Amino acid sequence: MLKPSNKRNAFILLNILCFLLIVFIQLSIPTGPIKHQQFKIALDKSKLLNNPYLFLIEILISIYLMAILAGLFNLVNFIIHNFKKPLFNFKKHVESFPLRQEETSQLIFFVMFLALIIYFSQWLILIFKLKVNPLGAIIFSNLAIETGVILITCKYIKSSYLDFRLNTSRALGVIKNYLMILPILVGTIFINSFILEKSGITTSINPAIELFLKIRNIPLLSLLLFQIIFLGPVAEEIFFRGFIYKLLRKKYNFLLSAVSSSFLFAMLHRSSHDVLPLLILSIGLCYIYEKNKNIASPILFHIIHNSFNASFLLLIKITT
């Protein structure tokens, strides 16, 4: 029987192997199971003015503008009341973490092995030119990964440690915090675009956004909306905040743990256009998790954010 340290080392080697295989597969099929074409978004002014949903579009824009104004008010108020206080007044590290080293290595391995299976399946579809709906294949692949990540992580980390409870006062606090960070997120979008333009880096749209705007099948679109608004936030928060961030917090202070896990979070979304906004969003999610000590708070925060984005994607979809 292998010793715990030997088990850990074995899983570390398997993790490295899985990572190398995933990289090899992605390099072999850089465009994935579908061929991506140049994708542009153009609003037709006449079509927009004659759109039967114009009233709803105006309401959505008004709600978003009011949310930004409310967020600015909350942000200024927060800065005034906390001007001389440390922004991140948290301990250097957190001792409690429910997993031993070998269990941590196992969790990472099973998540990476799941991703490897999905990418390998996409590779087989391309190599053997199987007649499947490419957009549907991507959606169901994402569904499998997100569901698998939730099940695997929750198998190792007990729900009592993550804490899914969320009362009314805490939920209202999460909404207030989201409004406060919203103006910052909007600002980072422009800053990110400016940096990319000045650097000469070609911007790439988020694959999920491109998929959403391309799809025309209503059942598939509904399934994708479910993933964007609910399943994705649950999977990402359980894994990135409940596992990766807390794993780092075992040894490091809040800021280093939040920035490190957030950098990984932003990179895995594979969108140069959203790197800085995703980095700031993820740090905010870590802050909410650290402050409230339960995973339900960042999940709600993430759901609100994705719901706003999905609403605007629908707006673009019906006006282009």
240-291, pLDDT tens digit by residue? 999 999 999 988 889 999 999 999 998 887 777 788 999 999 999 999 999 8
What are the C-alpha distances in Å from 104 to residues 157, 233, 246?
10, 22, 11
Q: What is the pLDDT of residue 72?
A: 94
By the 8 A CB rule, do 237 and 298 touch? yes
Q: Is 291 exposed, middle or buried (0-12, 13-18, 19+ CB in 10 A)?
A: middle
Q: What is the pLDDT of residue 32?
A: 42
Of 98 and 26, the structure prediction assigns the larger pLDDT to: 98
Query: Which residues are CB-neighbours of 189 under 8 A, at least 6 positions away?
Result: 274, 276, 277
The rounded percent of the chain whose pLDDT value lies above 70 is: 85
Query: Which residues are CB-neighbours of 56 under 8 A, at least 6 positions away?
Result: none
Nearest C-alpha neighbor of 163 from the set 293, 254, 286: 293
In this predicted structure, the answer to whether residue 47 has a pLDDT above a threshold of 70 is no
Of 233 and 7, the structure prediction assigns the larger pLDDT to: 233
Distance from C-alpha of 67 to C-alpha of 199, rounded to nearest angstrom: 32
For residue 39, what pLDDT band results from cuts at 50, 70 and 90? very low
Q: What angle do CA 281, 270, 302 make, to 5 degrees?
A: 30
Of 246 and 313, the structure prediction assigns the larger pLDDT to: 246
Report the chain's mean pLDDT, rounded to a whole number. 84
| Rg (alpha carbons) of the chain, rounded to whole number | 21
Hey, what are 284's tokens?
Answer: 């905010």
Domain ranges of the chain: 166-320
Distance from C-alpha of 185 to C-alpha of 302, rounded to nearest angstrom: 13
DSSP type of residue 130: -
What are the C-alpha distances in Å from 251 to residues 19, 107, 288?
24, 19, 19
Maximum CA pair distance of the chain?
Answer: 72
Hey, what are 232's tokens?
Answer: 């994705």
Mean pLDDT across 226-239: 95
By the 8 A CB rule, do 261 and 286 touch? yes
State the residue for tokens 């490295």: 16
pLDDT digits (tens, 9 = 90+) for 169-227: 999 999 999 999 999 999 998 898 888 888 877 666 677 777 888 888 889 999 999 99
For residue 38, what pLDDT band results from cuts at 50, 70 and 90? very low
pTM (2 d.p.): 0.88
pLDDT digits (tens, 9 = 90+) for 115-173: 899 888 878 877 777 777 878 888 898 899 999 999 999 999 988 899 999 889 999 99
Hey, what are 30's tokens?
Answer: 């850089």
What are the C-alpha distances in Å from 197 to residues 110, 184, 192, 280?
39, 20, 9, 20
Mean pLDDT across 296-312: 93
For residue 34, what pLDDT band results from cuts at 50, 70 and 90? very low
